[in-house]
C-alpha cells in the first residue's frame, strides 16, 4: 500500500508521464465518486453516483469547454448499449457533420422529427439508401398517410409509365368496374 497523505505523485523528469500499470489483467481502480481531469480548475470531471451511472462533464463556468470523443487512427466510434438498451441523444437538435452543420436532426418535443441540411447555398441533399439492395419502407401508423409535397421519380417515369407535365399518363386499365354510377366529365358510366 502507498499512503500519500495529501502529497502528490509526480514524475522526476521534466514533462514526464506518470504511468500506473497493473500486472497482467489487473485493473486501475479509482475509488472516488468524482475524478477530476486537468489542472486545479478541473478541466473535466468524471462522476459516478454509485448506481452504475457515469457522467462526464466540463466546468460549469463560462469557459466550460467541449466534450469530444475522438479516435486518432480514423477508426469508427461505436456506442453499444447492453441488451435492448437504446442510445439516447437528449437534445432538441443533433448536428451531424463539421462545424458548418452538414445536417441537423431536430425534435420539437412532441414527437415530430425534422431532418434538414444547411440553409446556405451549399445545402446538400438528404439521401436514404440501403447498401444491400433492400427495399426502403415508409409505413405510417394506422390510418396515417405518406404525404410527399414534391416528387421527381426517375426523371418522370413511374414503373415505366411516363408522366407528362400537362397530360395524363399513357398507362391503360385492363378492367374498369363499379358497384354504382360513376360520373366523369359530365358523362355517366354504369
Residues 50-92: pLDDT tens digits? Answer: 777 888 888 655 566 778 888 878 888 899 998 999 988 888 8
- Residue identified by cell 431536430 is 106
C-alpha cell at 39: 489542472
The pLDDT of residue 156 is: 61
> If we measure between CA atoms, which residue out of 126, 74, 77 comes closest to residue 102?
126
| DSSP for 139-161, written as a single string | --STT-----SS---TTTEETTE
> If we measure between CA atoms, which residue out of 145, 115, 140, 139 comes closest to residue 127?
115
* Cβ 59 vs Cβ 80: under 8 Å: no
Q: What is the mean pLDDT of the segment spanning 137-162?
A: 73
Q: What is the 3-state secondary structure (H, E, C) of 66-107?
A: CCCCCCCCCCCCCCCCCCCCCCCCCCCEEEECCCCCCEEEEE
Chain segment 82-125, per-residue pLDDT in tens: 899 998 888 888 877 766 656 788 887 777 788 887 655 556 77
Checking DSSP bridges between strand 54-58 and strand 93-96, what pairing results, if any? Answer: unpaired
Q: Vertex 57, ends 55 and 62: CA angle to 5°?
A: 155
Please indicate whether residue 154 or residue 124 has the higher confidence score (pLDDT).
124
The percentage of residues in the chain with a pLDDT greater than 70, rounded to a whole number, is 65
pTM, two decimal places: 0.51
> If we measure between CA atoms, which residue out of 98, 146, 96, 158 comes closest to residue 126?
96
> Which 8-state DSSP code applies to residue 131?
T
Please indicate whether residue 166 or residue 32 has the higher confidence score (pLDDT).
32
Distance CA 94, CA 96 (A): 6
Question: What are the beta bridge partners of residue 36?
Answer: 45
Chain segment 6-37, per-residue pLDDT in tens: 888 888 888 889 999 999 999 998 888 888 88
In this predicted structure, the answer to whether residue 166 has a pLDDT above a threshold of 80 is no
Amino acid at each position: 500500500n502507498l499512503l500519500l497523505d495529501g502529497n502528490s505523485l509526480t514524475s522526476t523528469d521534466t514533462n514526464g508521464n506518470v504511468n500506473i500499470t497493473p500486472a497482467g489483467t489487473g485493473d486501475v481502480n479509482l475509488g472516488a465518486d468524482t475524478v477530476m481531469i486537468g489542472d486545479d480548475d478541473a478541466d473535466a470531471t468524471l462522476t459516478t453516483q454509485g448506481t452504475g451511472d457515469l457522467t462526464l462533464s466540463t466546468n460549469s463556468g463560462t469557459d466550460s469547454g467541449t466534450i469530444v470523443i475522438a479516435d486518432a487512427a480514423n477508426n469508427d466510434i461505436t456506442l453499444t448499449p447492453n441488451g435492448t438498451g437504446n442510445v439516447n441523444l437528449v437534445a432538441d437538435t443533433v448536428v451531424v457533420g463539421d462545424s458548418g452543420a452538414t445536417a441537423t436532426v431536430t425534435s420539437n418535443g412532441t414527437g415530430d422529427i425534422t431532418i434538414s441540411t444547411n440553409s446556405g447555398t451549399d445545402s446538400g441533399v438528404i439521401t436514404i439508401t440501403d447498401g444491400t439492395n433492400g427495399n426502403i419502407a415508409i409505413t405510417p401508423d394506422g390510418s396515417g398517410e405518406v404525404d410527399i409535397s414534391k416528387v421527381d421519380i426517375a426523371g418522370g417515369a413511374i414503373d415505366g409509365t411516363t408522366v407528362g407535365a400537362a397530360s395524363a399518363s399513357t398507362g391503360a386499365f385492363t378492367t374498369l368496374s363499379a358497384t354504382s354510377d360513376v360520373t366523369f366529365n359530365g358523362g355517366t358510366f354504369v
